[in-house]
Amino acid sequence: MTWLEIGAKAVELDPPRLVLTGDAAAHGAANGRVSARLDRPRTRGRVHALTPIPAPTHLLTTPGFLVAVGAPEADGRQSLEIRDAEGGSPRPITGRRSRWVIDPRGPTLLGTSIEGAPTAWSLRDPDARPVVWSTRLDGRVLEAIRVVGSHVLTAALEERSLGGPLPNVVVQLLHVPDFGHVSKWQTLRGAKRIAERIAENTPRVAVGVETNGPILATLDAIYWADWHLRPRGEATVTGVPMMLSPRSDGRSWSVWLTAEGPVLRRLVPGAVDHEQVVHEAFMDTRGLLVGPDNGVTLVCRERIQQFDANGQLRFKFNFDSCGHAFVDASGTTLFAQESTLLAASPTGQCTEVWAAPPGAGKIAALGVSGDRVWVVLDGELVALD
């Protein structure tokens, strides 16, 4: 796979600092780490009806706010709802099918507008107009957004036509000091394009970030880049990438779909130094969590399985779940089993954290904000304190 540089000469900026601990999802790592203690018992707090989006696919959280994200509709529209720290003051947003993330600065919701443009919404100021932050993606679908400091990394995949060739993907790295600093024409002030590259003929792209720069995984190939998207390693593999998550030792974990089934691979810049076939249920991997000891947890709707830093199995459970999970500083993993929340230690010992009343449905989504856990259950947003 060749990544061609496109656009004008990029600017040179100091690399950002990647945070792998605490609430890492808010710092670009997307490795499932949270600062809350996950094994303590929870009690039911505030409850709010989710009328416009009764069954969101997932929850985005940041101190002071949470966002319920609905599934894309057949016409490509996607509904979201912004809520305050207590789950109230609902504010609906309609966009296009996209990856959605929260930039903790501001904070700001990043995704795609109904017109198809990469757009930023202020979570703090409901009267602020949305801001278009890139005009160079030509209607492609945002498959990945990672915010690391003031660096914003995106991967946008061309929509494939029926019977047409494999699409291309554009990766863009921007420096955005402040999404709230806009001109009277609602354009960003001070934003700079650091680099931009394009790759042809790939049905999927998965993006990860390490301390030294991004990782771009495409069909049968991996490209390690620095913070200007210049190459620092390449490898040829087999399969289609699903997810990547960074470790603290310069390596990363990844999951791929191959002819042999789902494969867990450990990546080191320029090479794959460990791989193993995992259970077929992980063809639908929803989470790839990296614990404090660099062990990895794979999560899907039917199964959770944890391996140590060398790929040795620690524990596995079959379950009926929403496919969301988180890991804390002790290595404890929080996940849902039908209408119950369970916490598993690294040895596989499970503790019940909270159970819904008898007759309740299945937990549809799970989120963690600060020390509070949120669940979506029977069309309601429930705070667990």
Give the separation between CA 200 and CA 171, rounded to whole angstroms: 12
Express each pLDDT in 321-346 by its tens digit: 899 999 999 999 999 999 999 999 99
Answer for the pair 290, 33: CB distance below 8 angstroms, yes or no: yes
Give the separation between CA 149 and CA 165, rounded to whole angstroms: 36
Mean pLDDT to the nearest integer, 127-148: 89
Mean pLDDT to the nearest integer, 13-33: 80
DSSP labels for 127-185? TSPPEE--S-STT-EEEEEEEETTEEEEEEEPPPPTT-PPP-EEEEEEE-S-TT-B-TT
Question: 370-374 long-range contacts, Cβ below 8 Å, gap at least 24?
Answer: 370/35, 370/36, 370/63, 371/35, 371/36, 371/37, 372/36, 372/45, 373/36, 373/38, 373/42, 373/334, 373/341, 374/59, 374/61, 374/66, 374/87
More confident residue, 160 or 288: 288
Q: Where residue 54 falls among pLDDT bands split at 50, 70, 90?
A: low
For 163, residues 6+ apart whose C-beta sits below 8 A from its C-beta are: none
Give the separation between CA 6 and CA 111, rounded to whole angstroms: 23
The CA-based angle 229-117-228, given to 5 degrees, is 10
- Cα torsion for 39, 385, 34, 300, to the nearest 10°? 70
Residue 282, SS3 per DSSP: helix
- Determine the pLDDT at residue 8: 66
Indicate the pTM of the whole model: 0.94
- Determine the pLDDT at residue 41: 97
Q: Where residue 242 falls among pLDDT bands split at 50, 70, 90?
A: very high
Using the predicted structure, report yes or no on whether residue 171 has a pLDDT greater than 80: yes
Q: Where residue 182 falls among pLDDT bands split at 50, 70, 90?
A: confident
Query: What b/e sequence results for 61-97 when a residue is b if at least 16 CB atoms lie within 10 Å of its CB, and e otherwise?
Result: bbeebbbbbbebeeeeebbbbbbebebeebeebebbb
Amino acid making up residue 87: G
Using the predicted structure, report yes or no on whether residue 27 has a pLDDT greater than 70: no
Q: Which helix (H) or strand (E) holds 383?
A: strand 380-384
> How many Å from the N-terminal Cα to the C-terminal Cα in the chain?
48
Amino acid making up residue 355: A
Answer for the pair 364, 331: CB distance below 8 angstroms, yes or no: no
Mean pLDDT to the nearest integer, 377-383: 93
Mean pLDDT to the nearest integer, 18-42: 84
Give the separation between CA 269 and CA 261, rounded to whole angstroms: 24
Express each pLDDT in 309-322 by its tens digit: 999 999 999 988 89
Answer for the pair 159, 140: CB distance below 8 angstroms, yes or no: yes
Nearest C-alpha neighbor of 56 from the set 379, 382, 384: 379
Nearest C-alpha neighbor of 210 from the set 5, 29, 378, 27: 29
Mean pLDDT to the nearest integer, 242-266: 97
Nearest C-alpha neighbor of 112 from the set 90, 84, 129, 134: 134
Q: Where residue 135 falls among pLDDT bands split at 50, 70, 90?
A: confident
- Determine the pLDDT at residue 202: 87
Can you list the domains of the chain with their CATH numbers? 4-384 (2.130.10.10)
Give the separation between CA 279 and CA 292, rounded to whole angstroms: 24
Give the separation between CA 42 and CA 48, rounded to whole angstroms: 17
Mean pLDDT to the nearest integer, 163-175: 88
Mean pLDDT to the nearest integer, 249-262: 97
Give the separation between CA 155 and CA 198, rounded to whole angstroms: 9
Give the max Cα distance, the chain.
61
Give the separation between CA 299 and CA 282, rounded to whole angstroms: 7
